[in-house]
Amino acid sequence: MSKDDHKTDFDQWLGEEFARTGEFTALAVLVEIGETSVTLLRSTFFNVIGDEVTWSEMTVLFAGAGAAWDGASFFPVVGSDGGPLDNVTARLRLRDVEARLADDRLVLNEGHFFDKWGRRLQIEEVQLQ
């Protein structure tokens, strides 16, 4: 069995995104997923300078968030001249994503959304009766 046989959807996405854009900043949002709700828990940003990070390493990082999370959505962004954003710009862009998510959880689908096992997710609108 090769190492590729154990890749999660996240691992595949990260490799493809890095190959496509080179270095970038990832805006990340952790959520709790209920039967008919999605609750925003925590957010952060980090610079991606290679594709070596695995989903299992990412979950170790997120364990320090202090919240039980069920999903994470990643929004890759690059600076105007390519490459990662500076910290001030990254914080501003993250606040923008947070504000949009506060209004509409479907914005999670604009990012790359994964469950706690690194499998792709998509939020669907639910009509409550």
**Considering the entire predicted model, what is its pTM?**
0.92
Ranges of each domain in the chain: 3-115
Cβ-contact 65, 110 below 8 angstroms: no
Confirm if 29 and 111 have CB atoms less than 8 A apart.
yes
**How many Å apart are CA 27 and CA 86, to the nearest integer?**
12
**Does 5 have pLDDT greater than 70?**
no
125: helix, coil or strand? coil
Whether residue 108 has pLDDT greater than 80: yes
- The number of residues making up the chain comes to 129
Q: Is the pLDDT of residue 2 over 80?
A: no
**Band of residue 1 on the pLDDT scale cut at 50, 70, 90:** very low
Sign of the torsion formed by the C-alpha atoms of 34, 39, 111 and 55: negative
Q: Over 45-84, what HEC string results?
A: EEEECCCCCCHHHHHHHHHCCCCCCCEEEEEEECCCCCCC
